[in-house]
């Protein structure tokens, strides 16, 4: 039998299928989010069933998480992304004590106890500063691909000072920097530094190590190093960081089927 985990994020939909008893991932996929979230989720779900040769009747339980979790009609139940990211990270990094999740529309700092349970968390979901959306705005203003930002920043020796953490005002500030002749690489490096500083401020007191970075922004090179500099501690990137929430969701689905154990 099989369980499914769906992370209906603000920028992308992620799905993972796992055998209920063996912790073996048997199918996974990702697609861009859109207006018709439930339809897009269903299409990805059915595509993965077909590609994996899986019958829909074999799916014992489906857990949804993420920004649009309440819209997913396929789900038997929903669980917050904070819990799912904690579970997903601990599955890949059993010693992890702190999780930094930077997604498209929000960012979170999650502290775990010795057993991997969520001890407390801080979340920014009211402002685009410190999120992937901030970096998308920067990429658009600089006429660059999001994936190329890290390479640009790596060539900077003098990161620009970005004083405005509001995305609207920061964009205006970036326009001014461009007009004054500031190199794009220095602007990107400055923005990464500003995002990392926002996360460090949200974390407040020191984070326990090991610290794991997850979420789509973890795929942008340079962010890991910017966070390490801001926190003064080593940060590890989760494998396939965009899939962490869906992985946690499917593990929790399997636990529900198996009475609390996978």
Per-residue pLDDT tens over the stretch 172-186: 888 899 899 999 999
Per-residue pLDDT for 227 more than 60? yes
Coil, helix or strand at residue 15: strand
Q: Are 3 and 129 found together in one domain?
A: no
Between residues 25 and 162, which one has the greater pLDDT?
A: 25
Contacts of 179 (CB under 8 A, 6+ apart): none
Report yes or no: 227 and 197 within 8 Å, Cβ to Cβ. no
Q: How confident is the model at residue 142 (pLDDT cuts 50, 70, 90)?
A: confident
Q: Are 150 and 30 found together in one domain?
A: no
Per-residue pLDDT for 198 more than 90? no
Q: Are 128 and 199 found together in one domain?
A: yes
Per-residue pLDDT for 35 more than 80? yes
Q: Are 220 and 108 found together in one domain?
A: yes
Q: How confident is the model at residue 69 (pLDDT cuts 50, 70, 90)?
A: very high
Report yes or no: 4 and 16 within 8 Å, Cβ to Cβ. yes
Q: Are 75 and 86 found together in one domain?
A: yes
**pLDDT attached to residue 245:** 96
Q: Name which of 73-82, 122-131, 248-257 the model is least confident about.
A: 122-131
Q: Are 203 and 254 found together in one domain?
A: no
Q: Are 208 and 123 found together in one domain?
A: yes
Per-residue pLDDT for 85 more than 90? yes
**pLDDT attached to residue 147:** 79
Per-residue pLDDT for 261 more than 90? no
The pLDDT > 70 percentage for the chain reads: 94
The pTM (predicted TM-score) of the whole model is 0.89
Could you give the number of structural domains in the chain? 2
Q: Are 163 and 181 found together in one domain?
A: yes
Q: Are 159 and 74 found together in one domain?
A: no
**pLDDT attached to residue 77:** 97
**pLDDT attached to residue 164:** 66
Q: Are 102 and 12 found together in one domain?
A: no
Rounded Cα gap, residues 33 and 14, in angstroms: 9
Q: How confident is the model at residue 128 (pLDDT cuts 50, 70, 90)?
A: low
Per-residue pLDDT for 247 more than 80? yes
Residue among 141, 134, 159 nearest 225 (CA): 159
**pLDDT attached to residue 22:** 65
Residue among 75, 85, 68, 88 nearest 12 (CA): 68
Q: Are 73 and 149 found together in one domain?
A: no
Residue 252 sits in a domain whose CATH number is 3.30.420.40
Q: Are 224 and 109 found together in one domain?
A: yes
In this prediction, residues 152-172 reach a mean pLDDT of: 80
Q: Name which of 16-30, 157-171, 229-243 the model is least confident about.
A: 157-171
Which domain covers residue 202, as residue numbers?
96-237
The total of other beta-carbon atoms located within 10 Å of residue 137's CB is 17
Q: Give the CA angle between residues 163, 108, 164 to the nearest 5°.
A: 10
Q: What's the chain look like in SS3?
A: CEEEEEEECCCEEEEEEEECCCCCEEEEEEEECCCCHHHHHHHHHHHHHHHHCCCHHHEEEEEEECCCHHHCCCCCEECCHHHHHHHHHHHHCCCCCEEEEECCCCEEEEEECCCCCEEEEEEECCCCCCCHHHHHHHHHHCCCCHHHHHHHHHCCCCCCCCCCCCHHHHHHHHHHHHHCCCCHHHHHHHHHHHHHHHHHHHHCCCCCCCEEEECHHHHCCCHHHHHHHHHCCCEEECCCHHHHHHHHHHHHHHHHHCCCCC
Query: What is the token pair recorded at 41?
Result: 């989720």
């Amino acid at each position: 039998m099989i369980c499914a985990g769906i992370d209906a994020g603000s920028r992308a939909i992620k799905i993972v299928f796992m055998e209920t008893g063996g912790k073996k991932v048997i199918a996974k996929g990702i697609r861009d989010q859109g207006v018709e979230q439930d339809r897009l989720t269903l299409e990805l779900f059915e595509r993965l069933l077909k590609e994996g040769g899986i019958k829909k009747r074999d799916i014992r339980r489906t857990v949804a998480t993420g920004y649009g979790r309440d819209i997913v009609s396929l789900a038997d139940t929903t669980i917050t992304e904070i819990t799912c990211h904690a579970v997903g990270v601990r599955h890949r990094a059993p010693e992890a004590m702190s999780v930094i999740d930077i997604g498209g529309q929000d960012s979170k700092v999650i502290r775990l106890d010795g057993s991997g349970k969520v001890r407390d968390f801080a979340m920014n979901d009211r402002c685009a500063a410190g999120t992937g959306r901030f970096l998308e705005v920067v990429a658009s203003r600089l006429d660059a691909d999001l994936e190329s930002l890290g390479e640009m920043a790596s060539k900077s020796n003098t990161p620009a000072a970005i004083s405005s953490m509001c995305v609207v005002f920061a964009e205006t500030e970036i326009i001014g920097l461009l007009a004054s002749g500031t190199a794009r690489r220095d602007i990107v490096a400055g923005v990464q530094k500003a995002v990392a500083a926002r996360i460090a401020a949200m974390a407040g007191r020191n984070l326990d190590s090991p610290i794991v970075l997850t979420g789509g922004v973890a795929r942008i090179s340079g962010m890991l190093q910017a966070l390490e500099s801001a926190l003064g501690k080593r940060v590890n990137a989760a494998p396939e960081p965009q899939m962490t929430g869906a992985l946690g969701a499917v593990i929790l689905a399997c636990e529900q089927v198996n009475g609390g154990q996978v």
